[in-house]
Structure 1
Amino acid sequence: MEPASELDRIQQLLPDWLAASRRLTPTGKTAAYIPGLAAAPRDALGITILGGDGKTASFGDCALSFTLQSISKVFTLMLALMERGEDVVFSKVGMEPTGDDFNSMLKLELVEPGIPFNPLINAGAIVVSSMIPGNSPEEKTERILAFFRELAADPALDYNREVYRSESATAHRNRSLAYFLKDNRVLEDDVEEVLDVYFKHCAVEVTCSHLARMALVLAYDGNDPLTGRKLIPQRCVQIAKTFMITCGMYNASGEFAIRVGLPAKSGVSGGILTLVPGRYGIGVIGPSLNSKGNSVAGVHLLETISTELKWSMF
């Protein structure tokens, strides 16, 4: 008999680990400021871990659908880098964490030259959205969807119309950011057209399996180990993973790096995409958020698994 694999062991331990983390869900809140996200089940928690051989471990509410939100920013960044190159992208967005909230306008006005500090805060991601190739918002969105579908291995992947409309109708802060960037000549395109692209890629609907599949490509430096295809240049993945470590968990990124030690990106729907380099892609959903906008139970679950299995990169 073959010895049990690590994923087999994880599958056996997940029920207890997940039950312990789920107890934290009452301490958080769903993202009520976006009406389309407010109704998510607060006590939900699920995880899918996908290995390079196609084997999985999963448990909990991993079949729950949710929208990518800020997780999408990692992939639009890589798409912009692939299409426009580093020099163009980083002439418009910086490479540094901010220490501020993800939707803050503060440093745009205080720090020269007035470009967003990094591509994973809202201001930076809006600028990145303007760099996606296409002659119209519809063409840009189709280009993004095609890229996401390829990475998730699901040609039916699409954005959630209700969440998109909800975000668009209530995005007063994001509009303020975008118009400020326009006034600073950082954003050159029509503001409403850029925001349309941004809201749609944030509203792309996924499950934990999709996240794990997308993360697996990053874990293997842009190669899809399940098909043998090269989907993203290694340099683009390297840049994205560095931003995930430094900025991916909002202004709790340093704490996450210490406690979990893996590249990750969260979204206010409660999703977390993370990876173990060269081994696993991981998708987590837990809609109850802590004060930093991260899944309170999801972060705890990832800390437990990483600690128990010594997964930290550091």
Structure 2
Amino acid sequence: MKEHYYTIGEVAKLSNLSVQTLRYYDQIDLFKPAYIDTFTNYRYYKGNQLFYLDIIKSLKYIGVTLDDIKKALRLTSEELLDFLAQQELRINEKISRLNEAKNTLLKTKKQLQEQIDIPVFGEIYVQIEEAMPVLQVTTTELTPTSSTSTYYATLIKIIEKEGSVLNSRYGCIYPLEPYKDVNDIIYDAIFTPLLTERTFSQLSPNIQQTIIPGGKYVCIAFIYDPDTYFSFYEKLRNHVLAQEELFESQVYELYMPATLTMEQEKKFIVELKIRQKQETQNSSEKVVAHSYNSQPELPN
């Protein structure tokens, strides 16, 4: 029985590939015709060759390079099975990275929305917050008027080394106490929120991966100014002292850029927050966080 041959045009239609692609596969020795007519220079293919073209298309679809496909076509069935198992692992890693990127995007959107939803600058407000994973470094000498760049840079290096995603926010923790002025406030730790769920290994003793607990927080937000910082702290502390509920003895301070545009002068929003104790939350009515549709006008 005479064997049937297909022209390059017929193979292009059967495989849903272009003639140019088939010619290129011939040039790189990936998929060559059964023979070439020396008089017309036309390419002809056998029917059983289409099976290998299906393999090429399948491997290319999952992201295998053409060079690796050439190697795969020379493998035994057992070797090809092992090769495909390796490709499955690679795809699963890609899926994991894409899911991480998606979760990072969602968390970033949530952070921006929370910033937009700050009800009034310089006034007390209440909000319910989810637990926030953070990477933090302990400190002993910094105040709200000090530069935190060195400590923040340490956290950045750790996050970058792990291949994780950086956050545009950072924060500090200090005790809730009756200070005399802003320079009496000494930070216990500096932290940055984590956008991924990765676990950081081999951290030095003064650095830890931890969680700022969720719950009901009493907050105040303002544009950072070392001359007015203490007045806002005092306003928040006095409000807490006047409440019947019990509050924890830590102040969480969060810095976030007021704008991401390079044209405007860089300003930072500071949000101070104090968490209501859990036993008080369980016995009180559910508090609904403030929700606003438009961004408040930033003070000059």
Asked if Structure 1 and Structure 2 have the same fold, meaning a TM-score greater than 0.5 normalized by the shorter chain, the answer is no
TM-score range, shorter chain: under 0.3
Determine which structure has more spread, i.e. the larger CA radius of gyration. Answer: 2
Greater RCO (CA < 8 Å, at least 6 residues apart): 1
Looking at secondary structure, tell me which structure has more helix per residue.
Answer: 1
Query: TM-score scaled by structure 2?
Result: 0.24
Looking at secondary structure, tell me which structure has more strand per residue.
Answer: 2
